Structure formats: structure tokens, C-alpha cells
Amino acid sequence: MPSKLHLTLFKRKELRTLQISNEEYKQLKPLLFSISYRMLGSVSEAEDIVQEIFLKAYQVEIEELKNKKAYLCKMVTNRSLDVLKSARFKKEQYVGPWNPEPLLLEEFESDPALTLLKKEGLSIAYLRMMEHLTPDERAVLLLREVFEFSYKEIADMIEKSEENCRKIFSRAKSKISHIDGESLHYERNKSIVNRFIEAFQLQKTDVLLELLSENVTLYSDGGGIVRAAIRPIVTPQNVSAFIFGILKKAPADFRIEVKNVNGQPAILIYLNGQLSSITSLFIRNEQIEEIYIILNPNKLP
């Protein structure tokens, strides 16, 4: 990568350039990726959008560009909104439940993005709840609650009034209020994940039923590419039967690891040395309320 990224600007027929230093690029890229990923739930799409934004940040008056960060955040937000709106039909045609694309954070241990990626609003449960929101609600909620932008800054980014942004935020919060209370304590959750693994490996039905909430729901995402449950599975008895059914069909040499996925401990299953699935849990009050199994190979890292 060149030491400076030159973004061409034109004003009164004079060639001008907006220069983003290497250091600015390193600082801004994680923020832009974090915004886009949380809005879309897709690692690959977020990476493409961020690259596109850096390459196409043009046609802006230099005098108007008071804040590069705000300008680029506005660009990435609006581009993500465009993608969200155009993806509605694609989501409607998706085979079976849709789960967000998991982000394996161990790959970012030496990356400055880790600080931003570890913030709230990153869990699979939270990202999946975003599907209950309109694109504008999603943008306002994330920019305000996760990234702590002021209503004035958000209004400028999505080109709506501050009053309207406040109303959108309130509406968005009420729509996902059922996720309030999600446990984000990594080590405590890891203990529950390990008990969950032990219960289904040793077929301890009583332990598994203790861990599962009465309202537990399992979402299995194969995307029509690999075999998965077409509809969500509900009730502790049905969920435990489904999990034990998976175990019975698994080859003897399957391997399980627990790794940091989206800031929380998740279960990675390997078949024949290849990553086959990632399972994340929504834990509240030390019980598992939702299970997200990502089997779609296009979503696995």
C-alpha cells in the first residue's frame, strides 16, 4: 500500500487531492469496518464497502471537509444503507433461517481493529436482532448506542433532522428490547459453553435441559447449500433432540474448539480437518435462550 492514499478532487477545474496518511488509514479503517459490519452482518460485504469508500471519496470541496472521520463515516453509513435496501429481496429468498456472518476475533489479536470490535453491539444475538429493524433504524441505533455519535452528527450522516433521529432511535430500542440483559461476561459464558459441550458429548439430557431456557430457539443456517433445519426449532425438548441427532451423525474424528467469535465464546466444529460449523449462544440469566448454528460454507472464515 502506498504511503499516502490520494483521492482525487475537482474544484473549479483545478486538480486537488485529499490525502489520507498511512496512520489515518490505519485508524479509520477499523471504525469504518465496524460500522458497516454491524449494519450488514457480513464480513466480506463490509470489507468491500470500506475499500470502495477509500477509493471513491471524491467530489468534495476541500473547504467543506472539516472532519475526515465524519465524512468517511457518513459515506460508509450511506453505502451500507444502500446495500441493506437492495438486499431485502435476497434475504426474502434465503433458504431457511439467516444468521450473521461470524467474525473470528482471534484473527485480529495484533490488529488495532480489536478495540473497536470488542465493543458492545457485536454479538451474533445483537446482530441478528438488527434484522427486526428498518435500515434507518439500524443505522441510528448503531451510530448512537454503539459508536456514541451525537444526534447532530447522525442527522448529518443520514440526512434527517435531529428530532427525527431521536424518534428513530427510540423506536429501534423498543423493537429489540427483548435482547436487553444479554450476558457479555466472556469467562462466565465460556463456563456455560463448556457445560453445554460436555452435556451433549456425554448425552446428559438432564444437564442440557437445565442449561436451556424454556423459551429456547435454535436457528440453523445452511443457506440452501448444506443440510440444515429449514425452520427455527423451539422448546428445550426439541432443541436437545436436534443436538443429539447431530452428534449421532457426526464422524468419530470430529473435533471441537471454543474460540472468540464476535466477542463471545463460540463452538467451532471441524470435520476431516475442515471447519464445518460455528455455534454461538445468546445467554441471559445463565441460561441459553437462543442458539445460532452457522453451517453455510460461504459464511465460515
Could you tell me the pTM of the whole model? 0.87
Nine cell digits for residue 122: 457485536
Rounded to whole angstroms, the Cα distance separating 109 from 101 reads: 19
71 Cβ contact partners less than 8 Å away, ≥ 6 residues apart? 57, 60, 65
Residue 1 is predicted with a pLDDT of 43
Q: May I ask the CATH architecture of the domain 1-93?
A: Orthogonal Bundle (1.10)
Q: Hey, how many other C-beta atoms are within 10 angstroms of the C-beta on 251?
A: 8
Q: Which CATH number fits domain 186-294: 3.10.450.50, 3.30.70.260, 3.30.710.10, 2.60.40.10?
A: 3.10.450.50
* Per-residue pLDDT tens digits for 108-161: 666 655 666 666 789 999 999 998 999 999 999 999 999 999 999 999 999 999
Rounded to whole angstroms, the Cα distance separating 172 from 167 reads: 9
Cβ–Cβ < 8 Å for 40, 98: no
Is the model's pLDDT at 11 over the cut of 50?
no
Domain with CATH 3.10.450.50 in the chain: 186-294
Cβ–Cβ < 8 Å for 73, 200: no
Domain with CATH 1.10.1740 in the chain: 1-93
DSSP 210-259: HHEEEEEEEEEE-TTTS---SS-EESHHHHHHHHHHHHHHS-TT-EEEEE
- Residue 261 — very low, low, confident or very high, per pLDDT cuts 50/70/90? very high
